[in-house]
Amino acid sequence: MGMAKHQLLNKYKYQLNEAVERRSVGLEREYQRRINDEATVVTNLYPKLFNQSELGGSADPLFMVMTQQIKQLRAGIAQNSLQLTILKQALSDDERSHLVKRLVVDEIIYTNAIEDVSVDATELEAVVNNPVKRVIARLSGSARRYLAVSNRAPLEIAKLLDFRVIYDDLLENEIGNADLPDGRLFRDREVRIGTPFETTHEPPKTEIEINEVLEAVISFRNTLSVDPVFKAIITHFMFENTHPFNDGNGRFGRYVLASDLAQSLDELTGLSISTEISKNVRKYYKAFQEASRPSNRAEATLFVQEMLAIIIAAQQRMIAYLSN
């Protein structure tokens, strides 16, 4: 049975017949229909949309429509998580510990590879296998943090300072001096995202703006009224959209995502997310870009859908591996 493909407004508009009414009228009606649907998740988050002249981000709250496809993917993720938990219980303690360490090494290698940062696998394995020695080895902060994900320790973020404390710990010695935060906690200078030839996104310009967005992100991430998997994905979108640091945003955001998925699903799912994103990196960036277009009015539906598909693929890879 084919499912009607949900389109963001910038594609949907081509279905409107201009002979009947102005396109802008039809688009506004469709937007109202989506945002007012009782199943739609409407947040208190206002992402920065590109190209947008008005200051401070979008005038529209970020929302996601509960499509059939999202419901099916979410149900599939729950099933897979259950299956992974059963498969994991069949392993001996040694096998489990070996598996977790392998996943941690892979995640750190791939989350860095997405940013074109190369990692020496042998060195990293040594650090992951012996994280207690307080050696100033490269990536010891990341190793410690990712090993904690495997224990499903909840990642508490209650105030702005928590972001910075986690950042300093996770990326210890990984950020060049020139790129360390120049504000009190975060970036306080303008950045542009894109290639030397083309800007694809302009995040908030000042630390004051960043603080405001991240305060809202904290309250959203701690709300109990939204499904935790959707919450983890939307938090990830908002964090990258805000780009609070000069460098390390992707690695930080994917670590929080891994942590949140381990918490709400299981640690094997959490510890395979960056590895799977790295296989789908163009789709991943395109999903960010589409959700950041002003014409789509801060709709995160397809971003969530894309990320759910990536999570399912990660889980299926893990299930196949453990079933062998």
What is the helix (H) or strand (E) element at residue 42, kind and residue range? Answer: strand 41-42
Burial 160-170 (b: 16+ CB within 10 A, else e): beebbebbeeb
Show the tokens assigned to 34: 């989506």
* Per-residue pLDDT, 1: 44
| 269 domain residue, yes or no | yes
| 37 domain residue, yes or no | no
| 202 domain residue, yes or no | yes
Domain count, the chain: 1
| 184 domain residue, yes or no | yes
Tokens 């392993």, residue located: 91
Rounded Cα distance between 196 and 179, Å, is 18
Q: Are 221 and 235 in contact (CB under 8 A)?
A: yes
What is the helix (H) or strand (E) element at residue 201, kind and residue range? Answer: strand 199-201
Show the tokens assigned to 179: 């790129």
Q: Are 216 and 46 in contact (CB under 8 A)?
A: yes
Residue 88 three-state SS: helix
Spell out the residues 6+ positions from residue 158 whose beta carbon is closer than 8 angstroms to its own.
Answer: 218, 222
Q: Are 322 and 88 in contact (CB under 8 A)?
A: yes
Structural domain of residue 101, as residue ranges? 43-323
* Per-residue pLDDT, 198: 82
* Integer angstrom CA distances of residue 41 from 5, 92, 216: 19, 41, 15
The overall pTM is greater than 0.85: yes
Tokens 């539906």, residue located: 301
- The conformation of residue 60, written as its DSSP 8-state character, comes to S
| 249 domain residue, yes or no | yes
Cα atoms in the Cβ-side hemisphere of radius 13 Å centred on 92? 3
Q: Are 136 and 173 in contact (CB under 8 A)?
A: yes
Rounded Cα distance between 223 and 55, Å, is 27
Q: Give me the tens of pLDDT residue by residue for the chain, a chain 324 residues long.
A: 445 689 999 999 998 988 888 999 999 999 999 999 999 999 999 999 876 554 445 689 999 999 999 999 999 999 999 999 999 999 999 999 999 999 999 999 999 999 999 999 999 999 999 866 655 678 999 999 999 999 998 999 999 999 999 999 999 999 999 999 999 999 999 998 887 888 888 899 999 999 999 999 999 999 999 999 999 999 999 999 999 999 999 999 999 999 999 999 999 999 999 999 999 999 999 999 999 999 999 999 999 999 999 999 999 999 999 998
| 255 domain residue, yes or no | yes
Rounded Cα distance between 9 and 33, Å, is 12
* Integer angstrom CA distances of residue 273 from 4, 65, 266, 320: 28, 23, 12, 16
Write the CATH number for 161: 1.10.3290.10
Rounded Cα distance between 153 and 264, Å, is 11
* Integer angstrom CA distances of residue 112 from 120, 128, 142, 159, 248: 11, 16, 11, 27, 9
Cα atoms in the Cβ-side hemisphere of radius 13 Å centred on 89? 7
Residue 214 three-state SS: helix
Rounded Cα distance between 59 and 225, Å, is 23
Amino acid at 88: K
